[in-house]
Amino acid sequence: MDYFSIATILIVLSAIFGYINVRFIKLPSSIGLMVVTILFTLVVLGLSYFDDTLLQKEKELITSIDFKTVLLDVMLSFLLFAGALHTNFQQLKIQRKPILIFATLGTLISTFLSGAFVYYVLQFLGLGVDFIYCLLFGALISPTDPIAVLGIMKKVGAPKKLETKIVGESLFNDGVGVVIFLTIYQIAKGGSDISFGHVAELFLVEVGGGLALGAIIGWCTYRLMKSINDYDIEVIITIAAVMGGTMLAQQLHLSAPLAMVTAGLIVGTDTVRQSSMSEVTELYVDKFWELIDILLNTILFVMIGMEMLVLTFNSSYIVAGFIVIPLLLLSRYVSLLLPIKLYANKLDFVPRTNLIMTWGGLRGGISIALALSLTQVMERELFLVITYIVVVFSIVIQGLTVGKLIKKYTS
């Protein structure tokens, strides 16, 4: 199936499912789209007992999509830039220290705790899996998904200081999580050939280089936009910054997600907006990136819902998936303790910040994309099923209830 046909089918399905959600179900966009898509896929599976034509067509569509490449190499940069563009930079600057620790040390702690918990759960269930592959799972499941988190935070009207912590952590731990995953992936493939120094160098170069590249791209974008006053060209400049910056980061083996977050934050700051954009330009830039954000989000969550067709539904895998959910939440809770304790007296934290950030740390498409990149030797089928169960629970159950939790402790 050619790319145009795939894109057309996804957009048509996204429009139909989005309409059904808005017209009848009325759930938050990301949650509703995934629920409708899963229900659609279950109906198709049911109809396949009588006629499997539609099922085969849906399977053909899903197998034609390289989810990992589409999300990590194409969609993610646009989504992160759009999210960072509309993030409150002043609040982020105030909260920068705990956010930095959440996104780095917190993600590392969560990776190792999650990996250890999963290792013992799988041993208990008789599914012998090497510890290094469990660590890989810990790395892919630890980052929270900014795409899902942003929508939920806006919907529930969370206090700005809380929203900034959750969204800021999600924007940065996304890029950090991908780097941690790729680092452990290299260790799993290379064995004893990979030294600690090499691992540290790989991590620091990808993270530091990504942040530096993003700062350069953001500054260049600002200077170009400041030198002209033409909203059409200025919108195109922002598109070029994302696409060109992503390609450059990939060529230099730097973190493209971190680069795009940094660039988006710089271009979106009030100072840059006031000095480089007219009111018309600012309106068009914001509206364009809001539309891109909504469109790609819609397509992403439809794709996540349809991915269930590629899963291997083994009863042991499903049981493992449900058992690890509370353990992953515990890992996240513990990983947030240190930065919250360190800055509790210096910064104004809302009551039960740790609990809210634990429950509000939704997992999403990034985890599924990374799980799909595993090899068969790395227990791809097992970890894909567990990841899917965790992601669906996270987006649907946590996503629907985090608003009530926020209102309970902040109102």
pLDDT tens profile 147-156: 666 666 666 6
**What is the rounded average pLDDT of the residues 209-231?**
96
- Give the C-alpha separation, 198 to 193, whole Å: 10
Give yes or no for residue 192 having a pLDDT over 70: no
| 75 against 28, higher pLDDT | 75
**What is the rounded average pLDDT of the residues 126-145?**
93
| Site of tokens 């700051």 | 269
pLDDT recorded at residue 119: 97
pLDDT recorded at residue 88: 76
pLDDT recorded at residue 149: 67
User: What is the average pLDDT value for the chain, to the nearest integer?
Assistant: 89
pLDDT recorded at residue 193: 60
Type of residue numbered 195: S
**What is the rounded average pLDDT of the residues 331-355?**
85
Q: Work out the percent of the chain whose per-residue pLDDT is above 70.
A: 95
Give yes or no for residue 403 having a pLDDT over 90: no
Q: How confident is the model at residue 326 (pLDDT cuts 50, 70, 90)?
A: very high
pLDDT recorded at residue 203: 76
**What is the rounded average pLDDT of the residues 364-392?**
93
Give yes or no for residue 347 having a pLDDT over 90: no
**Cβ partners under 8 Å of residue 156, min gap 6:** 402, 403, 406, 407
pLDDT recorded at residue 8: 94
Q: How confident is the model at residue 160 (pLDDT cuts 50, 70, 90)?
A: confident
Q: If DSSP states are collapsed to H, E and C, what string results for the chain?
A: CCHHHHHHHHHHHHHHHHHHHHHHHCCCHHHHHHHHHHHHHHHHHHHCCCCCHHHHHHHHHHHHCCHHHHHHHHHHHHHHHHHHHCCCHHHHHHCHHHHHHHHHHHHHHHHHHHHHHHHHHHHHCCCCCCHHHHHHHHHHHCCCCHHHHHHHHHHHCCCHHHHHHHHHHHHHHHHHHHHHHHHHHHHHHHHHHCCHHHHHHHHHHHHHHHHHHHHHHHHHHHHHHHCCCCHHHHHHHHHHHHHHHHHHHHHCCCCHHHHHHHHHHHHHCHHHHHHHCCHHHHHHHHHHHHHHHHHHHHHHHHHHHHHHHHCCCCHHHHHHHHHHHHHHHHHHHHHHHHHHHHHCCCCCCCCCHHHHHHHHCCCCHHHHHHHHCCCHHHCHHHHHHHHHHHHHHHHHHHHHHHHHHHHHHHC
Give yes or no for residue 75 having a pLDDT over 70: yes
pLDDT recorded at residue 150: 67
| Domains along the sequence of the chain with CATH | 3-64 (no CATH), 67-410 (1.20.1530.20)
Q: Which range has the worst mean pLDDT, 145-159, 209-223, 357-371?
A: 145-159
pTM of the model: 0.91
**What is the rounded average pLDDT of the residues 119-131?**
95
**Closest to 71 in 3D by CA, of 297, 379, 223:** 297
For residues 75-100, b (16+ Cβ closer than 10 Å) or e, as one string? bbbbbbbbbbbebbbebbeebeebbb
Q: Find the length of the chain.
A: 411
pLDDT recorded at residue 147: 65
Indicate left, alpha or beta for 374 from its phi (over 0: left) and psi (-120 to 50: alpha): beta
| 266 against 179, higher pLDDT | 266
Give yes or no for residue 29 having a pLDDT over 80: yes
- Give the C-alpha separation, 52 to 44, whole Å: 8
**What is the rounded average pLDDT of the residues 305-319?**
90
pLDDT recorded at residue 194: 61
Q: What is the CA radius of gyration of the chain?
A: 21
Q: What is the pLDDT of residues 287-308, one digit of tens each?
A: 999 999 889 989 999 999 998 8
pLDDT recorded at residue 148: 65
Q: Work out the percent of the chain whose per-residue pLDDT is above 90.
A: 56
pLDDT recorded at residue 151: 65
pLDDT recorded at residue 107: 94
pLDDT recorded at residue 10: 93
Q: How confident is the model at residue 382 (pLDDT cuts 50, 70, 90)?
A: very high
